[in-house]
Structure 1
Amino acid sequence: MNDPILTTQTPAPEEAALARRTLGVPALVFLIIAASAPLTVLAGGATTSFAVTGELGVPVGYLILGIILVFFSVGYGRMSSLIQNAGAFYAYVTAGLGTRSGIGTSFLALVTYNSMQIGLYGVFGFAASSIVGDLFGITAPWWACALVGWLVVGLLGVNRVDLNAKVLAVIVALEFVIVVAVSLLSFSVAPEGVTVEAFMPEHWITGSFGAMLAFGIAAFMGFESGAIYSEEAKDPARSVARATYIAVGIIALFYAFSAWAFSVGVGPSLMVAESQQWGPDLMFVFLGQHVPAIVTNLAAVLFLTSILAAMIAFHNAAARYFFSMGRARVLPSILGATSTRSGAPVAGSLAQSVLGLVFIVVFAASGAGSDLGPLYPVLTMFPWLTNAAGFGMVLLLCVTSVAIMRHLSRDPDRHPVFLRLVAPLIAATGFAVIAVLIMVNFDVMIEAEGFSALVVIIPGIIVGSGLAGLAWGQFLRSNRPEVYAAVEQATIG
């Protein structure tokens, strides 16, 4: 007898459906931007990029990456109007490059989204532990704080997606308020005057340009997630594309503007040195010098909720990949179970939560007694998994660009040459270059001193997941042809 809340029998796509017509353009934009975590990027991503690259031109890197993503979004938006599937990347690659490639992409996407979501538990636990200690004088281990975040994410993950969108809308709005306030404060302080020094060529056309792009791309991860919610959008043929264009534009311009403004506030000549000294704490040190302590504490709390918002967004994305792959029976069909009450991909959500719990426990055990002390999760769990995810995302974007080009070019009369060929080709080339740059700079990205086996192992796991997917696709083709034949129908109809 079936559970009254779950639909677990999923041999055909129509028998397992997500909540329909619940998300409009504004909700999609909030879901997308929440994954990109504006406050986390300014406080953590931008300062880290300034520190590691040793260059002032970080804002230019965000603009260049934004341009590449706009070219990608042109074809991606068109594909979202043609194909509505919760496994966006793998559905598009299946349409463009074939079923086996699509299955390979699904494995790569699943590992990528789970890596990003789980890696964030490390920095969330550390930040929460620090805030609890500073505000209440309570010593709480990072893993206990991470488990609290895990519980909140897990509970929201099995509820209606529009509830998630409402929670994220509030958090994202508050993030924007804080970042705008920091930017305005920076212009009012401006110890060296309001200058465009950060945009001068000598600060970004350097040997560190590759590292700048490699670090910057992680800030955009999540921009593509609108298509994952296409089955739940009110008008999927139009709203997903519109939300993606809006989100990419906002993210690129806002990141570039806020990073530039912050450099003005700290002082262009001091920005790199101060970032290297303070790291992600620089924004709070800056605020502490110019505003009352209560404002700094509020910003710290919102920094924490910013990370939480990103975890919720990536949890939802990973859950929908589990759902899509389970529905297509590429993975066990139980993963295609949805809640009849909320329409949430409840089995996929629970699977993601179990993975998160396992990693929190493993890193908590391995970090016990470590010489790194409280910094253990932010020097291991966070950079290892999130940089792996960044690399995986670039590979996904590159492969998907090629697939978009192939699929749209089959109907040249319907799709203009710029949309079907020029834009995706530029995007694919850009992402291929960034993938190489990440490989070359991976030791810097995980802050390895000298040679580290992780420089090979972590990217190897990401590439290996895609290869494992290709092998599984070949296995299905040879041994379960009925499943293999149904994948195309289950993904693209």
Structure 2
Amino acid sequence: MTPDGNYHRLRPNAVGIFDMILMVIAATAPLTAVASNLSLSLAFGAGTGTVGVLVLVLAILLVFSAGYVALSRQVVNAGAYFAYIGFGLGRRMGGASAPVATLAYNVAAAGMSVAVGHFGHAGLSAYLGVNVPWWVIALVAVAATWVVGYFGVTIAGKVNVFVAVTEFAVLLAFAIAVLVRRPGGFSFDVLAPGSVFGGNFGLAVVFRILSFAGYEAAAIYGEEARSARRNVGRATYSALIVLAVTFVFVMWAIAAAFPDAAATAQADPGALLVSAITAYLGGWAGPVLSLMITFSFFAAALSFHAIASRYMFSLARDGFLPRALSRVHHRRRTPVSAGTVQLVVCVLVVVPFAVAGADPIATYFPAVSGITALAIIYLMAACSASIVTAAARGRISGSTWAVRVAPSIACVALMSCGVVIVAHYTEITGSGSPVISALPLTLVAAAYGWLAARTRAARRRSASATRTGRCGRPPRRGTWRSRPSAAAGP
């Protein structure tokens, strides 16, 4: 470690508010969210009432954000959720959430790279007649995410600008085309209670929550952000508003584009967006859309790689993982050690599927969707509970709405979503495999394993102190203190 401690500190003031907004959008992957989760909700969830369900979920996220943003002004840490949870619920609970977040974000990063391989292979085969194995493209994507992570968020920001602009351009062009050619299809019936609650409302809510799996991205960059205590909140709300307007307008357009959009979606939900855009924008849109979906997944892979790397970096710095993972590049101050481990994780995911000749979308993606959904719901609900607890102890300031009422409502709503996920797990993953159904237990095992390991370590330290006659250092209880290296601007 250098005298100034920079080997364990990320570069300060390297990320602006625009970069943070783009990271949230990139992790959300609007184009792929519409093509997958939102289309599935239209087919098997609330039908055209999906538009109304989307509005309700956005309301839940706005309520959650009130406390989340208040806490972001108090705690700045690259491992956002685990630090937020530890702040109010104690270091033990914060630590127990760490393996849950680490597992979820690592499998999500690998899943995005696998998706790049799958859709890249499909696009090259269909439009250029080039047959490149999916796993080759996936490994190239994994290597590319590591390179971008090595050079820092500036390069990632440029990639995300290109992808975000093109994604929004295609989606909004389609929605405007529907509005011009079929204005009568835009009916307010999609917001009526009968439409919203008439179908499988719970399943529709879950698919909406899944569309915002990267919501934490802005806070992840808090240590690297300029004026983090102000800009994390601004970036979070800005990204949510942009995504809300886009998702509602585009889903309303899809509902308006067909005489019976729900029936069309049920026939082939995966092809719904391609069919709609091709019908309203022309045949040229098919190849462009295929290319953009691939790039959208790549941008999501970049974002989840960065999130997973920073989580492992922060956990290592706080003593939850080997200290070596908190090392950063001596000049760029990027988390290269943790990033390299994340690259290895992705390779270890891709290679077995390649060797087995398995279809990654039919096998790996069900596991990703289920684990990610449950992990994100748990982390957000625990974060809300942490805010309420911290407020009760007088450790956080803010309005009654922001630190007591809103987090309480959000916690109940999110836990209800978690119950729905468990009840509809087979429909969410699209797989009836007992192995896939049992995978969420890995989250429980990870949290319990961490708690058990920490308990054993504490007992060993206590026994050693007793034998040597030393009292040792007393454990910290019930608090989370941000490290000096996590300090941010005003």
TM-score, structure 2 as length reference? 0.91
Distance 1:13 1:395, change over 3 A: farther
Q: Partners of 1:68 and 1:10 in 2: how far apart?
A: 45
Distance 1:40 1:413, change over 3 A: closer
Q: Deviations over 1:377-413 (max 9, x none)?
A: 1111112113211111000001111011111332289
1:108-127 correspondence runs (5 A): 108-127=100-119
Q: Partners of 1:236 and 1:290 in 2: how far apart?
A: 42
Residue 172 in structure 1 maps to residue 155 in structure 2:
no
State the partner residue of 1:5: none
1:12 positional shift:
11
Distance 1:476 1:157, change over 3 A: farther
Query: Are the counterparts in 2 of residues 476 and 484 from structure 1 also a CA contact under 8 Å?
Result: no
- Identity, % of aligned pairs? 27
- AA at the equivalent of 1:461: T
Query: Are the counterparts in 2 of residues 186 and 266 from structure 1 also a CA contact under 8 Å?
Result: no
State the partner residue of 2:50: 58
Identify the range of structure 1 (144-153 vs 411-420) with the bigger mean alpha-carbon deviation: 411-420
- Which ranges of structure 2 fall in alignment gaps of 5 or more residues? 462-471
- AA at the equivalent of 2:367: W
State the partner residue of 1:418: 401
Given the alignment, which residue of 335, 343, 349 partners 1:359? 349
CA RMSD of aligned residues (A): 2.4
1:419 positional shift:
1.5
State the partner residue of 1:236: 228
SS in structure 2 of the partner of residue 339 of structure 1: coil
1:330-349 correspondence runs (5 A): 330-349=320-339
Identify the range of structure 1 (137-146 vs 344-353) with the bigger mean alpha-carbon deviation: 137-146
- AA at the equivalent of 1:23: V
Q: Partners of 2:4 and 2:406 in 1: how far apart?
A: 35
Distance 1:440 1:112, change over 3 A: same
Given the alignment, which residue of 465, 471, 477 partners 2:458? 477
Query: Are the counterparts in 2 of residues 30 and 172 from structure 1 also a CA contact under 8 Å?
Result: yes
1:100 positional shift:
1.0
Distance 1:448 1:386, change over 3 A: closer
1:44 positional shift:
1.9
Given the alignment, which residue of 191, 204, 219 partners 1:199? 191
TM-score, structure 1 as length reference? 0.90
1:42-441 correspondence runs (5 A): 42-53=34-45, 55-190=47-182, 193-206=185-198, 208-267=200-259, 269=260, 271-366=261-356, 368=357, 376-411=359-394, 414-441=397-424
SS in structure 1 of the partner of residue 211 of structure 2: helix
- AA at the equivalent of 2:279: Q
Distance 1:413 1:286, change over 3 A: closer
State the partner residue of 2:28: 36
Distance 1:206 1:460, change over 3 A: farther
Q: Partners of 1:491 and 1:462 in 2: how far apart?
A: 27
Q: Partners of 1:179 and 1:188 in 2: how far apart?
A: 14
Q: Partners of 2:298 and 2:142 in 1: how far apart?
A: 9
Q: Deviations over 1:8-63 (max 9, x none)?
A: x4999765110110112111101111100111111222112222326221122221
SS in structure 2 of the partner of residue 158 of structure 1: helix
1:362 positional shift:
1.4
SS in structure 1 of the partner of residue 440 of structure 2: helix
1:484 positional shift:
6.3
Distance 1:192 1:19, change over 3 A: same
State the partner residue of 2:467: none
User: How many residues align structurally?
Assistant: 474
1:160 positional shift:
1.4
- Which ranges of structure 1 fall in alignment gaps of 5 or more residues? 1-8, 371-375
Identify the range of structure 1 (461-470 vs 399-408) with the bigger mean alpha-carbon deviation: 461-470
- AA at the equivalent of 1:273: A
Q: Deviations over 1:49-95 (max 9, x none)?
A: 22232622112222111111111111111111111110111111111
Query: Are the counterparts in 2 of residues 103 and 473 from structure 1 also a CA contact under 8 Å?
Result: no
Query: Are the counterparts in 1 of residues 328 and 335 from structure 2 also a CA contact under 8 Å?
Result: yes
Identify the range of structure 1 (154-163 vs 413-422) with the bigger mean alpha-carbon deviation: 413-422
Query: Are the counterparts in 1 of residues 17 and 231 from structure 2 also a CA contact under 8 Å?
Result: yes
Distance 1:94 1:11, change over 3 A: farther
